Amino acid sequence: MTSEKFTVEKVLSIQRWTDNLFSFTMTRPAHFKFSAGQFARIGIMVDGELIVRAYSLVSSPYDEVLEFFSIVVPDGAFTSRLQHLKVDDELYLEKIPYGFLTLARFQQPAPQDLWLLATGTGLAPFLSMLQDFDTWKNYQQIFLVYSVRTAAELAYVDKIQDIHASFGENTPDFHFIPVITRDSNAILHERLPVLIQNGQLEKIAGHAFNLETTHIMLCGNPQMVDDTKEALKQRGLVMNRRGVGNIAVENYW
C-alpha cells in the first residue's frame, strides 16, 4: 500500500531559522504536479509505521525541487523526528497534492486587491503563490501580512523581496507588512484580529478592505484563522463559497 500511494524522496537541503523553525527541500518526482497554495502529505517511517502529516508547499509550481516550512512541536510524533533531518535522508511523499487554498477559487469579486494573512509557517502557501506569474498578472495590489512572535521568527524576508524584484517593474503594488506580537516597539505588534478591528492594518497598508474588490486568504494558527475570519466578517466581508466571496482559508491542521 505504501509503495502505491507514496514515492520515496531524498532531502536536499535544510535551513534552520530558529530553534523551533526550519525549512527543507527534497527531490520532486516528475509526476508530482500542484497548484500554488496546495499542500503535500509527507511521511517518515517510525518503528515500522509510516507517520504522515500535511505541509503546504513553499515552492513555485515550476520549481525542480519541493520546499517546505516546519515548526517543531514539542514531543510531537512527527516533527520531533523531522527536526533532525540530514541531507540524503529519505522521506515519503504522497503522489497527489491536496487543498483548495488557491487563487482559482476566487471568481467573484473579480481580482483587484489580494491580502495574504499568515502566522508562522502559514506563510508557506503564500510564498508559493508569490512565485507564480499568474498572481502578479491578475492583481493590481498585493499585501503580504506576516505575523510572528519575535523578529527572529521572520523567516524568508530576503526571499520575499527577491521574489518581488524578480518579476520586474511592471508588477502590481506589493506591500510586505510584518507584525511582531511580542515586541511593543514594532510598528504593528497586536494580533491580526485586533489590527483589523482597530483599523491599524489598513492604515499601515494605505488601503481599505472592500466588499467589491478584496480577496483575502488566511493560513496559520487555527485560533488566528478563526478569530481573524470573524473580525473580517464583522467588517462586512464574506466567506468564499463556490467561487463567490472575499475570504478563503485552509483547514488541514
CA distance 15 to 158: 14
Q: Are residues 177 and 76 in the same domain?
A: no
CA distance 45 to 237: 44
pLDDT value for 3:
62
pLDDT value for 39:
97
**C-alpha distance from residue 136 to each of 29, 170, 174, 210 (Å):** 27, 9, 9, 20
* pTM confidence score: 0.94
Q: Are residues 115 and 78 in the same domain?
A: no
Adjacent-strand bridge partners of 90: 10
DSSP 143-173: EEEEEESSGGG-TTHHHHHHHHHHT-SSS-E
Query: What CATH number is attached to the domain comprising 17?
Result: 2.40.30.10
CA distance 187 to 168: 28
**C-alpha distance from residue 208 to each of 133, 141, 154 (Å):** 25, 12, 25
Q: Which of 32, 65, 94 is the last residue of a domain?
A: 94
pLDDT value for 61:
96
Q: Are residues 48 and 164 in the same domain?
A: no
Q: Which domain covers residue 152, as residue numbers?
A: 103-249
pLDDT value for 166:
86
pLDDT value for 1:
46
pLDDT value for 2:
58
pLDDT by residue for the chain (253 residues), tens only, comes to: 456 899 999 999 999 999 999 999 999 999 999 999 999 999 998 888 999 999 999 999 999 999 999 999 887 778 878 888 999 999 999 999 999 999 999 999 999 999 999 999 999 999 999 999 999 999 999 999 999 999 999 999 999 999 988 877 767 899 999 999 999 999 999 999 999 999 999 999 999 999 999 999 999 999 999 999 999 999 999 999 999 999 999 765 4
What total of structural domains would you count in the chain?
A: 2
Q: Which of 49, 68, 94 is the last residue of a domain?
A: 94
Q: Are residues 155 and 244 in the same domain?
A: yes
pLDDT value for 251:
63
Q: Are residues 169 and 227 in the same domain?
A: yes
* C-alpha cell, 253: 491542521
Query: What CATH number is attached to the domain comprising 242?
Result: 3.40.50.80
Q: Are residues 88 and 112 in the same domain?
A: no
CB atoms within 10 A of CB 1: 6
Q: Which of 72, 94, 116 is the last residue of a domain?
A: 94
